[in-house]
Amino acid sequence: MTQPILLRVSNFKAYVWDVDDINILRSHHHICGILTGTLPHLSSQNIFLGLPLQLMPEEAVLLVENGIAVLVDDPSAHYAPSPSTLRLWKEARLNDARQQIALTEEKGSIEASNPDRAMSENAKRKRKEREERRARAKTNAAPSAPVEDSPSPHPTSENPSQAAIGEPLDSTVVMPSGSYTVNIPASSSKLEWYAPHSNVSLTIAREAGIWLHPSTLQERARCGVFRDLWEKGYYMGGGIKFGGEYLVYPGDPLRYHSHFVASVIEAPDAALRPMEIVAHGRLGTGTKKAHLLCEWNDETQVVSYLSVEWAGFG
């Protein structure tokens, strides 16, 4: 039996931090979620997002009710480590950093001693072109007269890496660098002072005060509609930009466009103005989608659907 996925709850929001769990949710359980973290060294931070994956409340409720995931009160799962535990953790992290630095230096020394081994044919060609351009520029350059009272600094024993002006640097000399890229594992599950307590049901999580959804008729209606569409094989994403609760995809959102914009009607006797129907129809047609009105019956636990499309428009 596979272990349930841990949904780490903070401020009544469910997050997934494990990449493998995200792949399982998307490939096997039709759960999309929203990536909310930023990725380092990327300029477009509003486009390329990373961990964690934040789930809609409906997604979290569905996963817990089906036994696919459990809720974890993440803030209370971190305990204060003892001084000896913290000292061992720091020593292990420093040893790991030293090993990574040693491997990096070993790799750099191998490439420096045999640069052609680590270079592709294209890189070799570009390197040869750069060397030829430098040789031509050096040949065509006129010799400059020495400046007696130049304020520019000269190399000293305290700063041997600083070369005098006009003095060529030996390209075969590899200057020592004090900066390294060291990967530090950031998963809380590997810390000795992290002890999560799993809440296997929504009732237990509600009694523990970490999860409240669904607590109103509207929330129950959204969860019921989401579950019904999910059981029909659809993928759901947020639909607020298109005037609804969900965007309904026939398959993986990375491969398909959404076919419907779904709005949830919480009860059969809920009021729905004609202007709303017209607005939903025109907006859906303008975005090449049909608007799906999803009516929830809290007594029978049944969903009724009505699609609206603006005929003869566009």
Q: Is the dihedral of CA 21, 24, 25, 29 positive or negative?
A: negative
* Dihedral class, residue 12 (left if φ above 0, else alpha if ψ from -120 to 50, else beta): left
What is the separation of C-alpha 173 from the centre of its chain, rounded to a whole number of angstroms? 40
| Amino acid sitting at position 171 | S
Nearest to 301 by CA among 65, 111, 46: 65
**Residues 6, 8: Cα–Cα separation, whole Å:** 6
Which residue numbers are catalytic?
Answer: 249, 257, 289
Q: Note whether 236 and 229 are within 8 A (CB).
A: yes
DSSP state at residue 89: H
The token duo for 195 is 């002890």
The residues, ordered by sequence, that sit 6+ positions from 296 with a Cβ below 8 Å of its Cβ are 220, 221, 224, 225, 264, 265, 266, 267, 303
**Residues 228, 246: Cα–Cα separation, whole Å:** 13
**Residues 16, 51: Cα–Cα separation, whole Å:** 8
